[in-house]
Structure 1
Amino acid sequence: MRTTVQDVMTTDVATVNQNASFHQVAELLISRGISGVPVLDDHDHVVGVVSEADLLAKEEFKQRYYGDDYRPPLRARIRHMAGSEGKGYDKATGETAGALMTSPAHVTAADVPVVQAARLMDRHGVKRLPVIDTDGRLVGIVSRRDLLRVFLRLDKDIERQILADIPPDRTWTAPQGLGVTVADGVVTLSGVTGRHSEAIAIVRMAENIDGVVAVHDELTWRYDDVVEIPAWGGA
């Protein structure tokens, strides 16, 4: 069985209401030692995420425009507000979590495989994903660190699962005839299968097991039933 977000997520989630002040958000991040939190509306729906970067953007803005008693000309401020950075200006001048947050939030569901959640984080460049139920309410949060725990399985547990996952009703080599060694998550498969296709299936099955870092294929077979289609070419 594949590990899902529910298996690794944290359910004790630090959150802020969208009306929370800048200082409330900052104090929560510092006291909990975290870099970001989900922002909820009054019905516990996730409406965004506010992070250290969002708070620092405001502080940088304040120093740029108000530090050392400096204030740009009115024309420059109007131009900044109306230009391509207008959205950044609105966030930087925001006073509540709702104004400072990044929205909409990238979220996931509890039954999503951890691999899918990891790809979502990578695609959007985020460090955490709020986990929501079918109504959009927060049920947990999953971080990059949580996902990495999947790769900390014991080697013997991975080996045991590989052998157990070979369906007994298939014509593959009996599990006791299959050589499986695992070292630091790297699996080496050896032995003889009846067919080439069976060897391919075993390798793919092993690659999809949680905790497997890589698979070294040393399998051989008695009958090659994999037909390679030649490249198309004219006469």
Structure 2
Amino acid sequence: MDIADIATREFVEVDANKRLGKVRSIFERENPKGIIVTEDGAYAGVITQKQLVQSHVEDDAKAGAMTRSAPKVGRTDDVREVARVLVEGGTKIAPVFQGEDLWGIVTEDDILAAVLENLDALTIDQIYTEDVITIREDTNVGQVVNLLRKHGISRLPVLDDAESLTGMVTRHDIVDVVVRDMNKATRGDRAGEIERVLDLPVYDVMNSPVETANLDDSVRDAVERMLENDFAGLAVTADDDDSHVVGIVTKTDVLRALTYTEEDHMDVQITNISLLDTISREDIRADISDVADKYQAMQVQHAHVRFHEHKEKLRGTPLIQCQIRLRTNKGQAAGSGEGYGAATAFNVALDKLERNVLELKGVQADEEYRGQLLRKLGEL
């Protein structure tokens, strides 16, 4: 399936110097799926309606202030390759080009809707993220902000004292409550108001009840619910207990599954690949393969490496967080670490991964990886 079968021409081009107030009015009048931003006539990036709605940047700011980088894709590119581009670019939308000419756009939701029928081939337990970070109802907003920033994530399940799932809080929930309360304060009250908001328990801002998925649910059913309700992800709960969180599944996890291969070499996917400095994709694949090869009983089916840049720098080199996750016939294994530069962060995470693999060796997988399911996806 070529991306031309999925892409849409429902977009509008604007110059980077255009006022955001004008951009917001374009969405109200024309309701495009996205806006392509150009600078001196050349492609510069994208702005989505959801991004604008959830942003509180003033109308007098320029469109360039809201522009996000999104990699170009070709009109005849394969849907699998475009899914990979979106995941590795950390974006939900990409411009579609025919040669040098802008032809349309494609979104994460467009791809998921187009392949929905094929997703019956997968169940949640094959694609979900197992090592989920949770918080308690009395965790304050300031602590939530630090966790979201530290781990480069967008949502956190909330548990009560009995470890039962009671809510979900997202980055956008935090932004909304902070901006709402700040708008009520006068200029002189703002410092105290910030402290008050950051001290709020997350119970006061979380979403409840929470939409969940069970491990044996089909991915198709989960994606249908996400698309219908405009959710980016669902909490994953144990089959016998809907209040016990075992992981999380997101639209990005589904896109990542579309890129899985059955090639002889291990499939490695990198998110935010633009952060790579002195290390290459080939170096990363070789180093992860070296770890996997030490343990013959463990067969790695897929590796995901995610880089996240913090604002802190040392002599101009940014602090990077690296997360490595392996999907194996023995279950999931993960490692994370931080360092100045992608190479340092990756090496710290790799060391942690190997130590975690040692603990995983004796764990019996619930189910061997089923290649025929990926072959069905290969029909796309």
TM-score in same-fold range (> 0.5)? yes
Partner letter of residue 68 of structure 1?
R
- Give the superposed CA RMSD: 2.8
Normalised TM-score (structure 2): 0.35
> Which residue of 2 is the match for residue 119 of structure 1?
224
Q: Give the direction of change, closer, same or farther, for the CA distance of 1:94–1:111 in structure 2 (3 Å limit).
A: farther
Q: Could you tell me how far 1:48 is from its partner in structure 2? A: 1.1
In the aligned structure 1, how far is the partner of 2:164 from the partner of 2:377? 31
Judged with a 3 Å threshold, the aligned counterparts in structure 2 of structure 1 residues 61 and 45 are, in CA distance, closer, same or farther, namely: same
* Aligned equivalents of 1:58, 1:43: Cα separation in 2: 27
Aligned partners of 2:222 and 2:260: how far apart in 1?
19
- Aligned: 1:146 with 2:146: no
SS at match of 2:377: coil
C-alpha spacing 1:53/1:111, structure 2 compared with 1 (3 Å): same
Kept after mapping to 2: 8 A contact 1:9/1:146 = yes
**Cα offset, 1:94, TM superposition:** 8.4
Q: What is the deviation of 1:70?
A: 6.7
Structure 1 length-normalised TM: 0.55
Percent identity of equivalent pairs: 28
Mapped partners of 1:139, 1:112: distance in 2: 14
Q: Which runs of 5+ in 2 are unaligned?
A: 1-119, 191-196, 265-372
**Count, aligned residues:** 144
Q: Give 1:60 shift.
A: 0.9
Does structure 1 residue 38 correspond to structure 2 residue 157?
Answer: yes
SS of the residue 1:141 aligns to: strand
Structure 1 stretches of 5 or more lacking a match? Answer: 72-91, 158-205, 214-235
Structure 1 residue 2: Cα displacement: 2.6
Contact kept, 8 Å, 2:157 with 2:169, in 1: the verdict is: yes
Counterpart check, 1:209 vs 2:314:
no
CA distance in 1, matches of 2:198, 2:207: 14
Distance in 2 (CA, whole Å) between partners of 1:26 and 1:47 is 19
1:102 has 2:213 as partner: no
User: In proportion to residue count, which structure has more strand?
Assistant: 2
1:209 Cα deviation from its structure 2 partner:
2.9
Could you tell me how far apart the structure 1 residues matched to 2:172 and 2:218 are? 28
Corresponding residue for 1:50? 169
- Report deviation, 1:154: 3.6
1:69-218 equivalence runs, <5 A: 69=188, 95-133=200-238, 134-135=240-241, 136-154=243-261, 209-213=376-380
- C-alpha distance in 2, partners of 1:150/1:43? 33
Equivalent position amino acid for 2:225 in 1: L
User: Where does residue 166 of structure 1 map in the other structure?
Assistant: none
Verify: 1:19 aligned to 2:104, yes or no.
no
- Higher Cα Rg: structure 1 or 2? 1
- 2:168–2:207 contact (8 Å) kept in structure 1: yes
C-alpha deviation, 1:62, in angstroms: 2.2
* CA–CA separation in structure 1 for the residues paired with 2:198 and 2:179: 11
1:81 aligns with none
- Superposed CA deviations along residues 184-222 of structure 1, whole A, max 9, x for unmatched, are xxxxxxxxxxxxxxxxxxxxxx9x933443xxxxxxxxx
Give the conservation status (yes or no) of the 8 Å contact 1:58–1:93.
no
